[in-house]
Amino acid sequence: MRVHGDLRRGTGRDVGGDVLIRDVEVEGRGRVDVRVEGGRVAGIGRRLSGDAQVEGRGAALLPGLHDHHVHLMALAAEAASVRVGPAQIRGRDELAKSLRAGAPRKWVRAVGYHESVAGELDRWTLDALVPDRPVRVQHRGGAMWFLNSAALRAAGLESADGRLWREDGRLRALLPPVPLDLAGVGRRAAALGVTGFTNADPHPADGLAQTLSVLPQRLVVMGVDPPVKLVLDDLTLPAPADLAATVAAIRPRPVAVHCVTRVQLLVTLLALEEAGPVEGDRIEHGSVIPAEALPRLRRLGVTVVTQPHFPIERARAYATEVHPDDRPHLYRCRSLAEAGVPVAAGTDAPYGTHDPWAVMRAAVARDAAERLTPRAALGLFLGSPHRPERPRRVTVGSPADLCLLHVPLRQALDALTADAVRAAYVQGRPITEPAPDNEGAQ
């Protein structure tokens, strides 16, 4: 099943599917039937009639999950990459073995590297490990590539140390194309109940939206669709007035500003105050948000799209690499909500887990100041595609982007696992085949 790309960005050019999902638990309505016509929820009630029936047996029917910050092309390229992160590799010898595997003289693309594996990388370190084939290794953060001398020669690149910072566009033009498993990305996400993505690349390649249209999920492609992604780096950080001028030139479109340090957030807040906020403005990551910034965030009305799982996934690294003054302010979640700041979540895959349910579990496992309830953690992925702070519900007239579970909501919240997902629908059309529900729900 394919849904046209421009439809999934919200233009409504296709009528969608029809289905009657019987005896499901809809939050706020109890156990009801849900009828979908033309890709929207057409009726909610008891003893509804309709064709193409699916028996829910009292299981929960939710809005489909939306991953509000993900990098789909990089995620699709993972299948053709060697993973060399701390979870897979320990030490220089294991790194060398992983990079030497495969056919001789073929390019090696490795991802997920962190210094805790085998120290700092550069072309000379990689040459010592793998001298006879072109190798490129991406840092876990996604912004840095390390190339050995063979890779630099093959690409016709000049670099003293083989470190290329935010050079994805240039590398894309010079390096051999990477096989992309977009079908696998869509299939795996559908099995998790994901019915939508916001692709957060800062500079989308020409034709990216068309390339991604093979995915069955609804898509928001930053830079093609609003918002416009802006990436800040401390070494090239603009003055607040200069960033304000950039934002003003983008208006009336909203912006999504990548903020991973305290100073980046401060400059962004000053710039938004000067340029004036608009609906849909976002802070991406909000990695370090000091308490004194909370009132300004609330006043500006910006949404923070964060990754509450990073302090769990990267706890060991953060304990040594993050300045002690910043550690209490990492990836705020509960404190944002309590301060009246809208908050949503994205996986940031492939730089974090691709599983929203794992993100939810991490959000529930945070320290007391940032810990969410299971229902609030689920809500991080139930926001509207273009307005993640606006919760979606299964209501008459809403798009039929739906996630059918095997179990009632209470039971799903107890476990917060993708094992609870039975089927996913986009505009009423199944993007997974409904799994058998042998036991049913009581």
pLDDT digits (tens, 9 = 90+) for 227-240: 999 999 999 999 99
Tell me: pLDDT of 8 over 60.
no
Which of the four pLDDT bands, split at 50, 70 and 90, describes residue 116?
very high
- 191-222 per-position pLDDT tens digit: 999 999 999 998 888 899 999 999 999 999 99
What pLDDT shows up at residue 381? 98
State yes or no: pLDDT of 431 exceeds 70: yes
Residue type at position 132: D
Two tokens, residue 377: 């953690």
- The answer to whether residue 312 scores a pLDDT higher than 50 is yes
**For residue 5, pLDDT beyond 60:** no
Contacts of 320 (CB under 8 A, 6+ apart): none
- Read off the pLDDT of residues 43-56 as tens digits, 9 standing for 90 and up: 999 999 888 789 99
Number of CB atoms found within 10 A of residue 403's CB? 26
Query: Distance (Å, rounded) from C-alpha 9 to C-alpha 221?
Result: 8
| Residue 87: closest CA among 163, 142, 140 | 140
Question: What mean pLDDT is predicted for residues 395-417?
Answer: 98
Count of C-beta atoms within a 10 Å radius of residue 14: 15
Q: Which of 10, 386, 74, 107 shows the shortest CA–CA distance to 208?
A: 74
Please compute the mean of the pLDDT values over residues 322-344 and round it to a whole number. Answer: 97
For 220, phi then psi, to 5°, come to -120, 120
Q: How far apart are CA 58 and CA 174, in angstroms?
A: 54
- What is the model's pLDDT at position 434? 57
Asked whether the predicted pLDDT for residue 403 surpasses 80, the reply is yes
306 within 8 A of 359, measured Cβ to Cβ: no
Q: Which residues sit opposite 195 in a β-bridge?
A: none
Residue 287 has pLDDT above 60, yes or no: yes
pTM value?
0.90
Other C-beta atoms lying within 10 Å of the C-beta of residue 340: 12
Q: What is the mean pLDDT of residues 279-302?
A: 98
pLDDT at 11 over 90: no
pLDDT tens-place string over residues 120-165 = 999 999 999 999 999 999 999 898 999 999 999 999 999 999 999 9
Dihedral sign (CA 231, 233, 238, 239) = positive
Q: What is the mean pLDDT of the chain?
A: 92
In this predicted structure, the answer to whether residue 101 has a pLDDT above a threshold of 60 is: yes
pLDDT value for 177: 86
Condensed to tens digits (0 to 9), the pLDDT of residues 349-363 reads 999 999 999 999 999
Residue, of 266 and 106, whose pLDDT is higher:
266
The predicted model gives 3-25 an average pLDDT of: 64
pLDDT given at position 223: 94
Q: What does the CA dihedral 265, 268, 269, 271 come to, rounded to 10 degrees? A: 160
Closest to 285 in 3D by CA, of 255, 254, 261 = 261
Inter-residue contact 215 to 424 (CB < 8 Å):
no
> Length of the chain in residues, anyone?
442
pLDDT higher than 50, residue 2: no
| Residue 436: pLDDT band with limits 50, 70, 90 | low
What is the reported pLDDT for 7?
38
Is residue 148 within 8 Å of 134, Cβ to Cβ?
yes
Q: Residue 103: is its pLDDT beyond 80?
A: no
- Note whether 383 and 346 are within 8 A (CB): no
CB hemisphere CA count around 143 (13 angstroms): 9
**Rounded mean pLDDT, 303-307:** 98
Nearest to 99 by CA among 52, 61, 66, 137: 137
Please compute the mean of the pLDDT values over residues 380-389 and round it to a whole number. 97
Angle at 258 between CA 253 and CA 260, to 5 degrees: 155
